[in-house]
Structure 1
């Protein structure tokens, strides 16, 4: 049995958008020598993606800015 979700890409729009972003902004930018290096770069990129990039879902500001305005 396959572990991937079934259905069309349009049914998983958020996942497909995220996967495209990962490929375009991170994965295709680096050549990794070791698994550890890939994991380290992935962790750094994910932190930036989730915390430092402007997010259109919250008005085009970063999550850090959103937290400051909520406090």
Structure 2
């Protein structure tokens, strides 16, 4: 699961898993909210972790608008699809992971690189961290 800020393209969280139940999604989002604040909207696909009663109840309790992308229309969530492709090409396909713990560690290292060192054409050649600092 990847959580990206649409405005500044900051990779807020990456969570490599074989599968992720909705309860874990909610727990991760609660941790993210503690650091970054409550989002107005979350854009998600139609995976079972996002269509479950527990996730929908959580978004309602938090007052978060949820937007489900249309199945088969990845362009509706282009920025996350772009991020997923970059992570796959630059991190996942470049490493052979011995176990899930190693995958988590290497993906987290790549997320930090993505946010602080990797220039983004959509941000005028700046990193997400620099872009958000300049926008504040």
Aligning the two structures, in what range does the TM-score lie when normalised by the shorter sequence?
0.7 to 0.9
Structure with the bigger percentage of helix: 1
- 1:39-54 alignment, distance < 5 Å: 39-54=104-119
Q: CA RMSD in A?
A: 2.5
Q: Which runs of 4+ in 1 moved over 2 A?
A: 1-6, 55-59, 61-67
Aligned length: 69
Cα distance in 1, alignment partners of residues 101 and 122 from structure 2: 32
Task: Check whether the contact 2:119–2:126 (CA below 8 A) recurs between aligned residues.
Answer: yes
Map Cα deviations across residues 34-71 of structure 1 (whole Å, 9 max, x no partner). Answer: 1111111011000000111112343213356565x78x
Larger RCO (CA within 8 A; separation ≥ 6): 2
Residue 35 (1) aligns with residue 100 (2): yes
Q: In 2 relative to 1, CA 64–11 (structure 1 residues): closer, same or farther, beyond 3 Å?
A: closer
Map Cα deviations across residues 8-38 of structure 1 (whole Å, 9 max, x no partner). Answer: 1111111111111111111111110011111
Which range moved further: 28-37 or 50-59?
Answer: 50-59
- Alignment correspondent of 2:78: 13
TM-score (norm 1): 0.75
